[in-house]
Structure 1
Amino acid sequence: MTENLQIAIIAINKWFYFAMNYKTILHNWTSVSGEYRSEYIPDFLVEAKWTCNLDHMLSKWNVATQSRNPSAYLIDFYAELDNANRIALLEWLMANYNGEKQIL
């Protein structure tokens, strides 16, 4: 097995377990319209280094969760992101999530 293949296997496995186990937190913020908001949202929405504001990313998350299929939320969210924000999500995941069952 090549080193690149090992890295890919580890990353895909990490993604899978993260998608099934991301943490939600109570987050308070002021929206771009000046409205005070308080909501339980995934921690990565608050912490990743997005290229746009939290309200925009949260609207993408809300669209992704409309399916009412929790197994697909993260996949649907990822599909809505541009490449820069996909990288931001993946960088956050690789740096902050370590709850996966080790495969290698």
Structure 2
Amino acid sequence: MTEALKIGIEAVNRWLFHGWNYEMVNVEVPDFVNGGSKTVHIPQFLAEAKWTCNLPHMIEKWNNACQPHNPDAYLVKFYANLDGDNRKILLEWVLQNYTDEKKLF
């Protein structure tokens, strides 16, 4: 097994476990309907990643990904609806911040 293949396998493994185990946090965001702000309960990566667009837009994408009420698919559907730059941002965040996967090596 090459080192590159091993790194790829570890990255996919981390991504899968993150998709089942991401942490949730409370965040204050603008309330465009009622004015002021509101507290939302969202995944930590959603609050912390340095997206190319604003957080309310990303929260809307997340909420759309959660519509089918299939928790195993939320992160995959969210990822599929991102543009290329934001996909890289999400993958980088996961690789830098999530380390609780079951290790393979």
> TM-score, normalised to structure 1's length?
0.94
Task: Please identify runs of 4+ aligned residues in structure 1 that moved more than 4 A.
Answer: 31-34
Q: Distance between the aligned counterparts of 2:101 and 2:69, measured in 1?
A: 24
How far is the alpha carbon of 1:28 from its aligned partner? 1.2
1: CA distance, partners of 2:32 / 2:50: 17
Q: What residue in structure 2 maps to residue 3 of structure 1?
A: 3
Partner in structure 1 of residue 65 of structure 2: 64
Unaligned runs of 5+ in 1: none
Which residue is 1:18 aligned to? Answer: 18
Distance in 1 between residues matched to 2:56 and 2:28, nearest whole Å? 12
**1:32-59 deviation per Cα after TM superposition (whole angstroms, max 9, x unaligned):** 6754020110011110010000011001
The match for 1:91 is 92
**Structure that is richer in helix per residue:** 1
Separation in 2, partners of 1:37, 1:92: 25
Question: Given that residues 29 and 56 in structure 2 are in contact (C-alpha distance below 8 angstroms), is that contact kept between their aligned partners in structure 1?
Answer: no
Partner SS for 2:58:
helix
Whether the 8 Å contact between 1:44 and 1:92 is mirrored in structure 2 is yes
2: CA distance between counterparts of 1:102 and 1:59?
33
What is the identity, as a one-letter code, of the residue corresponding to 2:47?
V
Three-state SS of the structure 2 residue aligned to 1:66 is coil
